[in-house]
Structure 1
Amino acid sequence: MIAAPMLSELERDALAELGNIGIGRASTALGRMLGGLVTLSVPSVEMVPLADVAGLLDRALTPPLVGISETLGGLFAGCALLVFPQAGSLCLVRAALPPDVPAEEVPELEDEVLAELGNVVLNSALALVANLLGEPVETGLPAVFRGGAAEILRGCSGTPPTADGAAVLFHIDLRTTLPGGDGAAVAGRVVLLLDAGSAGALQATLGRYIGRLVA
């Protein structure tokens, strides 16, 4: 079994800065989708063993949770996941839908809207980060999962959350200013589930990126 690497303080800072740049692009795209101003930030990032992820998510976010996932290839080989408390995601769904959509029709459209929301955030952010690191990234179609963190992780990765490997957790804060004075403040996580080999490759790529910055 290969031990997954943990990030140094310098690597965490570099990845957090890259995350902020990528999430900045996602903010613009999400603002167009919701028809208002969206501010997304990444206050911190950490790499943890896969076995710890479910507990960290359940403690940080109020269940029930909703997760939008995409399979990944290239630099971030594994699975990407955008996780919000379900209560926080509902206001985003309503904002994305036209105002004339009857309230009784919102639940049947919810998964479609969440999938598109997750697709916008994950694709926009990861593509830019991968480009800055000089490595390719490939994404699959989004899927929506609900429940506790362990259920969502199992649905996203297809493997138990105790499997060998590591996860990169981007702590994100989302704030919106929407037409009509409505707004939302939602805390969530962008999670990259990586096997040990992919986690090591990401760390090596970060090292080369830092080296270019200080050269």
Structure 2
Amino acid sequence: MSSVLNISEDQRDCLQEITNVAMGQAGDRLARLLDTFVVLSIPHIEVMAPSDIAMALHSIDKNDSVSGVCQGFIGGGISGEAMLIFNDTSFTDLAQLMKYDDALDEQAERELLMDTTNVLFGACLRGIAEQIDMEFSYGPPMVLGQHMRLKEIFDQNNSRWSHALVTEINYQLEGYNVNCDLLIVMTDNSLDIVLKKLDYLIQ
């Protein structure tokens, strides 16, 4: 599918390295916040249509109930969204790690989602922006849905793009049942600039 936008292997490798650094910084911040070891997957990078994203998530069972948050970003001709998809079995352990003692109702789960999102999105997007010498402005984070199937989350997130460059990485907390996928989605209108940035770094 990458032929849609003619991404070379060198460009893919470069973006993977940038993402590795940025998402590693985000994982380190989360590890410090929760005082536990964070296990990261290798970034998976693909060009895909919105309808393909749910099917592309490798580490979440398609039948599992999930909750998700997204946050838009824009700057220097690049725009996109960061998305965090949580397996719903994560909430009990996440509440324990964050020392959240109140009843774990839907509002409490939303707060846990937002707290985790703020840590991961902030560090990750800043890390990417710094490496490609750009500054992003951010929209407010929004809950995509709670206790839904993956397909339902993405079906209702009516995207405004036909194809996008999607980078996915999975975070797990060692010794805890916490599993989430962080996606960085850069829209088709941004990709000329993204690829030029990558070419400059490759040289």
What's the TM-score, normalizing by structure 1? 0.77
- Give, in whole Å, the separation in 2 of the partners of 1:166 and 1:48: 6
User: Alpha carbons of 1:27 and 1:140: their partners in 2 closer, same or farther (altered >3 Å)?
Assistant: same
RMSD (CA atoms)? 2.5
Q: Which moved more, 1:79-88 or 1:141-150?
A: 141-150
| Greater share of residues in helix | 1
- In structure 2, the residue corresponding to 1:192 is in which secondary structure? strand
Instruction: Identify if the C-alpha distance between structure 1 residues 89 and 14 changes in structure 2 by more than 3 Å, giving closer, same or farther.
Output: farther
1:109 and 2:101 are equivalent in the alignment? no
Asked if 1:87 corresponds to 2:89, the answer is yes
Aligned partners of 1:4 and 1:38: how far apart in 2?
38
User: Could you say if the C-alpha distance between residues 175 and 28 of structure 1 is closer, same or farther in structure 2, counting changes exceeding 3 Å?
Assistant: same
- Note if contact 2:27-2:171 (Cα within 8 Å) is conserved in structure 1: no
Distance 1:60 1:125, change over 3 A: same
Which structure 1 residue ranges, 5 or more long, are not aligned?
A: 177-182
129-138 or 48-57: bigger deviation: 48-57
Within a 5 Å distance, the mapping from 1:71-86 to structure 2 comes to: 71-74=72-75, 76-86=78-88
Q: How far is the alpha carbon of 1:205 from its aligned partner? A: 1.5
- Aligned partner of 2:164 in structure 1 is 166
Rate the CA distance shift 1:68–1:21 in 2: closer, same or farther, 3 A: same
Aligned mates of 1:195, 1:25 — CA distance in 2: 23
Q: Distance in 2 between matches of 1:15 and 1:81?
A: 18
Classify 1:203/1:185 alpha carbon distance in 2 versus 1 (closer, same or farther; 3 Å).
farther
Aligned sequence identity (%): 22
Structure-1 residue corresponding to 2:28: 28
Aligned to 2:45: 46
Decide which moves more: 113-122 or 89-98: 89-98
Distance 1:6 1:117, change over 3 A: farther
1:123 aligned to 2:122?
yes
In 2, the alpha carbon distance for the partners of 1:115 and 1:6 equals 36
Gaps of 5+ in 2: none
Aligned mates of 2:111, 2:70 — CA distance in 1: 13
- Structure-1 residue corresponding to 2:199: 207
